[in-house]
Structure formats: C-alpha cells, structure tokens
Amino acid sequence: MTKLSPLREFTISTNDKILTRISLEYLTPVTIPFEQSTGGTSLNFEFVPNYQDLNYLPILNAVEVYYLLDLSRTSTALDD
C-alpha cells in the first residue's frame, strides 16, 4: 500500500497561463473560483505537480467546471 503524503502541491494553468498554485490535503475539498473570458471555444486546464517524490500518487479525483450566462442583457418580448 502506498503511503499518503499529507499535502500535494499543484500548479493549475488555463490556456497556458498560470492560474494558481495550490496545496491539496487528503480528503479535503477545495474550490478555486476564477473569472476568465476566453476568446475561443475551448478552455484547457493543466495540473502540474510541484513535488518530485514519485512514491506519492496524486490525489486529485474530480474537477467541476461551470459557465454562468449573463442574462441581464437579453431582451424579452413585451407580451410575456
């Protein structure tokens, strides 16, 4: 069985720009909100470990991404 390290450090990049560096603790969820306007149709994420000890496996097990639409600028029909 692999021994679990208390922390895993990652650098998170989006579209080749560093977003943040983060330390993850075992079984502790983390939320990283960010505002980024993309000019294209894709958003690429990269998670790069900052530790060199390959005996410890990464513990990142889920990523959730959502997009909020700005509905304040949409017009409505007057007869609604």
Token output for 37: 């306007």
Segment 1-46, tens digit of pLDDT:
555 555 678 888 888 888 888 887 777 888 887 776 656 677 888 8
**What is the rounded distance in angstroms from the CA atom of residue 21 to the CA atom of residue 8?**
11
Amino acid at site 47: F
Higher-pLDDT residue of 17, 71: 17
Residue 41: predicted pLDDT: 72
3-state helix, strand, coil in the chain (%, to 5): 5, 30, 70
Average pLDDT over residues 34-63: 73
* pTM of this structure: 0.60
The torsion region of residue 54 among left (phi > 0), alpha (psi -120 to 50) and beta comes to alpha
